[in-house]
């Protein structure tokens, strides 16, 4: 009788474990976009970051993806928890490429980028990128090198 109850409890735990594990797994989403740089190349150490606006935690990558779907055939992807983000690109050592801007200079995905980067686009304010779990937010191009 005790062995039968043990087997029944074990079987219930075995059946419920995948459901409980799935519920506890954190959800993530993906931010994706095209890269650019004001030159005839994109520096290989160009780093892309998403800053969570609530926690200030950074999620960064320097991995560049090559695909025709990206402008200039170079893009990125960041996997992040759900939340609101500012996305930017930066160079760890701008002087290495003859750039005059400081090391903390950030090229954001901004209103200027969303507007089409025209002289008629006056605002360079970073855009808020909303990420939900298990979805991809595309077209987030951190290309505002012109503030």
The domain that holds 57 is classified in CATH as: 2.60.40
**pLDDT at position 3, please?**
42
Distance of alpha carbon 76 from alpha carbon 62, whole angstroms: 8
The CB density around residue 123, as the number of other CB atoms within 10 Å, is 11
Alpha carbon 96 to its chain's center:
25
**pLDDT at position 11, please?**
42
* 91 inside domain: yes
**pLDDT at position 136, please?**
96
**pLDDT at position 23, please?**
52
Domain with 101, as residue range(s), is 26-137
> Per-residue pLDDT tens for 97-109?
998 889 899 999 9
**pLDDT at position 26, please?**
66
Our count of domains for the chain comes to 1
Which of the residues in the chain have pLDDT under 70?
A: 1-26
* 36 inside domain: yes
């Amino acid at each position: 009788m005790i062995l039968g109850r043990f087997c029944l409890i074990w079987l219930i735990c075995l059946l419920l474990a995948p459901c409980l594990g799935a519920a506890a797994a954190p959800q993530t989403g993906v931010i994706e976009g095209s890269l650019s740089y004001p030159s005839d190349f994109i520096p290989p150490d160009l780093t892309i970051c998403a800053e969570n606006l609530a926690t200030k935690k950074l999620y960064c990558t320097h991995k560049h993806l090559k695909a025709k779907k990206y402008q200039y055939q170079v893009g990125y992807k960041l996997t992040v928890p759900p939340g609101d983000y500012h996305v930017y690109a930066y160079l760890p050592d701008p002087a290495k490429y003859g750039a005059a801007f400081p090391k903390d200079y950030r090229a954001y995905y901004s209103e200027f980028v969303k507007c089409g980067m025209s002289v008629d686009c006056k605002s360079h304010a970073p855009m808020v990128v909303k990420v939900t779990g298990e979805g991809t937010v595309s077209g987030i191009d951190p290309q505002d090198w012109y503030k």
